[in-house]
Amino acid sequence: MRDTRGVEGVSDAATRWEIATPAGPGRLPGVGMAGFRDRSTDLVDLQVVPYPAVTVAVDLGDGRGGGLLIEDASGRQRRGSVALGLAPGRVRARGRGIECLQIRLSPVVAHAMLGALPDPGGEVVALDDLWGRDAPRVRERLRAAGSWEERFAIAEAALARRRQERRTVAPEVAHAWRRMVRGRGQVRVEALAAEVGWSRKRLWSRFRGQLGLTPKRAARLVRFDHAVHRLAAGHTAVRVAAESGYADQSHLHRDVMAFAGVTPAAAAAAPWLAVDDIAWPTAAP
């Protein structure tokens, strides 16, 4: 979860959250995990900023603080464990004493492990709706685990157990996504279509049907994510715009506002990027 409110500084944000990451690489390609526990008793009110992955948040709290409450772009609220699609719009997370496991899945593998992909337009899907009776069983095992490492192992085993090869995306679609990630969003759909031997129309249709976004919007999302991390690293908006494939600084401003709801200057100073880099230091969608 990325906090774009309360710009109290990077150190304060990092201090507030106890963040756990796996000791070594997992055995499931395209899957990353991190554990979060809020050390404060203050209300958390987070805007969930889009990231180029499908995100699952498993609520591990004891319920005394009210648990994790997610509100999607339409204002609909869900409490507890949820899944968010790519570019989920204006989604907010609220609660006190939050403790949760976050799982980031490349869209190339997400459908095979979740059973369906949440609507990228802003729909929030309860994990129970995706996994049925298996969801509460996994959640209780995660809550009872004695360490974060044990929790990561339980979650990985649950994902591996539910993976179904018949739900995997076409190799051509997977190639196009990975090329977008490697190219940091600076790719042309026509070039991708030529690489896989498809027409532009066929790639557009299959990509959208299997990953939920058009190739153009997916590339914009990947480019945005790279750009805001560059801004947070201290690079100027002019330089980031030029090196990230934006037409000019105004183009960068519009994209950051569209995805994050804040200006590039606010994004560069916001603590959510620092927390993000602690939790996902080697993230590769």
79-93 per-position pLDDT tens digit: 889 988 887 767 888
- Reported as a single tens digit per residue, the pLDDT across 182-217 is 999 999 999 999 999 999 999 999 999 999 889 999
Q: Indicate which CATH number applies to the domain containing 129.
A: 2.60.120.10
* 28, 99: one domain: yes
Look up the domain containing 128 and give its range: 10-167
- Reported as a single tens digit per residue, the pLDDT across 113-165 is 987 777 766 568 889 988 989 999 999 999 999 999 999 999 999 999 988 87
Q: How far apart are CA 203 and CA 226, in angstroms?
A: 24
Whether the predicted pLDDT of 55 surpasses 80: yes
| Residue 64: band (very low, low, confident or very high) from pLDDT cuts 50, 70, 90 | low
| pTM metric for this prediction | 0.88
Of 135, 167, 199, which one is at a domain's C-terminal end?
A: 167
Q: What is the pLDDT of residue 43?
A: 82
The pLDDT of 271-285, averaged and rounded, is 69
Contact in structure between 67 and 95 (CB atoms under 8 Å): yes
Q: How far apart are CA 108 and CA 168, in angstroms?
A: 7
Whole-number mean pLDDT of the chain? 86
**How far is residue 223 from each of residues 217, 227, 241, 259, measured CA to CA in Å?**
10, 6, 10, 11
Dmax of the chain from CA atoms? Answer: 55
Q: What is the pLDDT of residue 9?
A: 43
Rg, Å, the chain Cα set: 18
| Residue 57: band (very low, low, confident or very high) from pLDDT cuts 50, 70, 90 | very high
| Within a domain: 81 | yes
Please report where in the chains the tokens 């299997």 appear, as a residue.
210
Q: Indicate which CATH number applies to the domain containing 197.
A: 1.10.10.60
* 103, 159: one domain: yes
* 180, 110: one domain: no
Q: What is the pLDDT of residue 1?
A: 41
**How far is residue 279 from each of residues 101, 116, 151, 256, 270, measured CA to CA in Å?**
11, 26, 15, 22, 16
Write the CB contacts of 266 (distance below 8 Å, at least 6 apart in sequence).
4, 7
| Within a domain: 221 | yes
Q: What is the pLDDT of residue 138?
A: 95
Of 116, 137, 167, which one is at a domain's C-terminal end?
A: 167
Of 109, 140, 167, which one is at a domain's C-terminal end?
A: 167
Q: How many domains does the chain have?
A: 2
| Within a domain: 21 | yes
Whether the predicted pLDDT of 227 surpasses 90: yes
Angle between helices 215-232 and 271-279 (to 10 degrees): 100
* 70, 141: one domain: yes
Q: What is the pLDDT of residue 142?
A: 96
Contact in structure between 267 and 276 (CB atoms under 8 Å): no
| Within a domain: 48 | yes
Q: What is the pLDDT of residue 7?
A: 36
| Within a domain: 4 | no
* 43, 153: one domain: yes
Question: b/e per residue, 81-114, with b = 16+ CB within 10 A?
Answer: bbbbbbbbbebbbbbbbbbbbbbbbbbbbbbbbb
Nearest Cα residue to 230 out of 255, 261, 212: 255
* 14, 140: one domain: yes
| Within a domain: 1 | no
Q: What is the pLDDT of residue 45?
A: 82
| Within a domain: 268 | yes
* 58, 99: one domain: yes
Region of poorest pLDDT, from 59-63, 212-216, 246-250? 59-63
Please report where in the chains the tokens 């044990």 appear, as a residue.
150
- Reported as a single tens digit per residue, the pLDDT across 68-77 is 888 887 788 8
* 222, 90: one domain: no
| Within a domain: 2 | no
Residues 225, 228, 232, 236, CA torsion sign: positive
* 152, 31: one domain: yes
205 torsion bin: left (phi>0), alpha (psi -120 to 50), beta (else): alpha
* 178, 161: one domain: no
The pLDDT of 42-51, averaged and rounded, is 80
* 198, 142: one domain: no
223 torsion bin: left (phi>0), alpha (psi -120 to 50), beta (else): alpha
More confident residue, 276 or 175: 175
Region of poorest pLDDT, from 31-45, 126-140, 185-199, 224-238? 31-45
* 160, 41: one domain: yes
